[in-house]
Amino acid sequence: MRKNSELIFNALLPFVDFVAIVGAFGLAYLIRVKVDGRPVPNPIRAITFLKIFLVLLPVWIFIFAIIGLYNLSNVRGRLDEWSKVFVGVSAGTAFLVMLDFFSRNPIFPSRSIPIYGYILSIVFVVFARSVIRLIQQFLFRFGYGIHHVLLVGSGPIAQNLYDATRNTNRSGYKVVAVMDTMKVNAKRFVGARIIKSLDELGKLRVEEILQADSALPQDDVLDLINYANNHQITYHFVPNQFGLFATNSRITTIGGEQVIEIQRTPLEGWGRIIKRTFDVLGAALALLVFSPVILVIAITMRLTDDGPILYKHQRLSRSGKPVGVYKFRSMYWKYCDGPTRPYKTAAQALEAMGRQDLIEEFKREQKLANDPRVMPVGRFIRKTSLDELPQLFNVLKGDMSMVGPRPIVEEELPRYGKSSAVFLSLKPGLTGLWQISGRSDIGYDERVKLDIYYVENWSLWLDVKILLKTVAAVLKKGGAY
């Protein structure tokens, strides 16, 4: 059940967005018409401009609603919300510009006004929504809008959820008890009450049940759901590997009967068309922006070591198709392995260097924390992820996507087990969840889980969010991937 205060704050968002956008374009009008001394191509009175804009603005709010900016599930996802604001404002501005182009009478006094308004709208809407969230978090301090949760589980997912919600004044959640049949170490859930059954809840105030990775048998899970239904308690669960069937399913009708169709990924039909369009535009723009950097790296590589500037490695793409993935060569050429090289595998190269101690690490993780084969300039471009820039050509060719699962070699595929077919349903990405979640600092099994999660939960908004977080991760100069 949603908190009344949460519903109120969410109901305020359309009004807040409306005021922010009107303010942004009103300020854009003043800057161009009143402050800027240049002549105005299409003189339009302020009151006339405002009337026209107010008539068209509901379409903009409708766009916001379509992309999910007023969904209750977005209340606490800041980066996700901001990425949608960017997309929504872009779509709204594009709509106004297109309408102005086909309109017999101009909408804007000057072509610079939609540009000013576009930039100011993003700033104003993000700022206004941030103020709303800060007020909401301020009220958390006084107990308004707090969700009292029973957390079911004791594994890593449950621990992550508990850690993420411990700051009640920020998250709006308060875990009143943790329940599971396994022996739970109280150190995992500092400050929480540990119980083993619903009978121990007593008079504790519980409004929501959140089931994570628990050891409860199926009958106990059904009892948990019944308890939630009987006591007007909201029940949530974190999908396990079977989450695919819950998140990527749709109901259809065959012969008058409702059946559930299970999809491997949401990226089907129009989703694939949208993603390909996004990839082509994104890769072309990135190549234009980074072309000077690419040229400087190529010249530096040529002056540093003999051998080719680019290195093409065989990886698996969609449906297991082998593709050559481009990278700037970061290793000394004499230690590069491959079918045509003196060393066919990395293990052979390491053995020739006398580094037997690193062979097991490479077999286990498919990479080395401190690889002696890498040149100093190679360490720099790896650290800053600049060695991946040539993969933009792979994206244009259609071998890869801007965002997707990790590009893996065929020998890694068994590590994905029964999920290998799911993994191969998408093209590999230039970046992905595996990069923004710790890059090489996370274990291989965790990388596999992140890849599968992305395949099962793809959306355009997730791609935008990952790209924004990738920029942040590169700027922080985290571990190379």
Residue pair 382/392 in contact (Cβ under 8 Å)? The answer is no
Could you give the percent of the chain with pLDDT greater than 90? 9
pLDDT single digits (tens) 104-136: 888 888 888 889 999 999 999 999 999 988 888
| Percent of the chain whose pLDDT exceeds 70 | 84
Same domain for 65 and 129?
yes
- Whose structure tokens read 């998408």? 426
- Inside any domain, residue 343: no
* Lowest pLDDT segment from 231-235, 247-251, 280-284, 363-367: 247-251
Confidence category of residue 248, pLDDT binned at 50, 70, 90: low
Determine whether 376 is exposed, middle or buried from the number of CB atoms within 10 Å of its CB (0-12, 13-18, 19+).
exposed
Q: How do residues 334-360 score in pLDDT, each as one tens digit?
A: 777 777 777 777 777 787 777 777 777
Q: Is 298 helix (H, G, I), strand (E, B) or coil?
A: helix
For 429-476, how does the pLDDT look when each residue is reduced to its tens digit (9 = 90+)?
888 887 777 555 566 677 777 877 887 778 888 888 888 888 877 776
pLDDT in tens, 385-426: 888 899 999 999 888 999 988 888 887 888 777 767 767 778
Helix (H, G, I), strand (E, B) or coil at 174: strand
Same-domain pairing of 326 and 458:
yes
Do residues 152 and 136 share a domain? Answer: no
What's residue 305's pLDDT?
Answer: 83
Task: Choose one of 140, 158, 182: the last residue of a domain.
Answer: 140
State whether 11 and 123 are in the same domain.
yes
CATH code for the domain in which residue 195 is found:
3.40.50.720
Residue in 210, 144, 222, 155 with CA at minimum distance from that of residue 177: 210
244 in any annotated domain:
no
Domain end: 140, 175, 193, which one?
140
Residue 75's pLDDT band (boundaries 50, 70, 90)? very low
Bridge partner residues of 151 (DSSP) = 178, 210
Domain range spanning residue 177? 147-238
Judge whether 419 lies within some domain.
yes
Task: Supply 454's token pair.
Answer: 């992305």
- β-pairing verdict for 310-316 and 322-328: antiparallel
Domain shared by 102 and 226, yes or no: no
- What is d(CA 154, CA 159) in angstroms, rounded to the nearest whole number? 7
Alpha-carbon distance of 425 to 82, in angstroms, equals 29
Q: Which two three-digit tokens encode residue 400? A: 């890869």
Opening angle at CA 297, ends 291 and 302, nearest 5 = 130
Whether 336 maps to a domain, the answer reads no
Pairing of strands 257-262, 249-254: antiparallel
**247 domain residue, yes or no:** no
Same domain, 321 and 399: yes
- On whether both 277 and 128 belong to a single domain, the answer is no
pLDDT of residue 151: 86
Note whether 213 and 281 are same-domain residues: no
Q: What is the pLDDT of residue 351?
A: 76
In three-state secondary structure terms, 468 is: helix
CA-based nearest residue to 473, from 403, 383, 411: 383
* Same domain membership, residue 306 and residue 230: no
How many alpha carbons fall within 13 Å on the CB side of residue 250?
Answer: 7
Q: Is 292 contained in some domain?
A: yes
Q: Tokens 């943790």, residue?
A: 178
Is residue 324 helix, strand or coil? strand
pLDDT at position 45 over 70: yes
pLDDT digits 0-9 by tens, 137-190:
888 888 788 888 888 887 777 887 888 777 777 778 888 888 876 665 556 777
Please tell me the total count of domains within the chain: 3
Query: Quick one: which of 209, 222, 400, 207 has its CA closest to 312?
Result: 400
Element (H, E) at 410: none
pLDDT for 125 equals 93
Name the one residue in this structure whose structure tokens are 């709006």.
Answer: 172
> Residues 99, 205: one domain?
no
Asked whether residue 176 falls in the same domain as residue 82, the answer is: no
Residue 187 is assigned to a structural domain of this protein: yes
- Residue 415 inside a domain? The answer is yes
Residue spans of alpha helices (H) in 332-459: 346-352, 359-365, 376-383, 391-397, 420-423, 433-436, 444-456
pLDDT for residue 143: 79
- Cβ-contact 187, 214 below 8 angstroms: no
Alpha carbon of residue 18 to chain centroid: 27
- 179: its two tokens: 């329940």
Distance between CA atoms of residues 304 and 328, nearest Å: 13
The model's pLDDT over 204-219, given as tens digits with 9 standing for 90+, comes to 888 888 887 666 677 7
Contacts of 474 (CB under 8 A, 6+ apart): 384, 385
Averaged pLDDT, 260-267: 57
Residue that is last in its domain, among 238, 262, 288: 238
Please check whether residues 285 and 410 belong to one and the same domain: yes
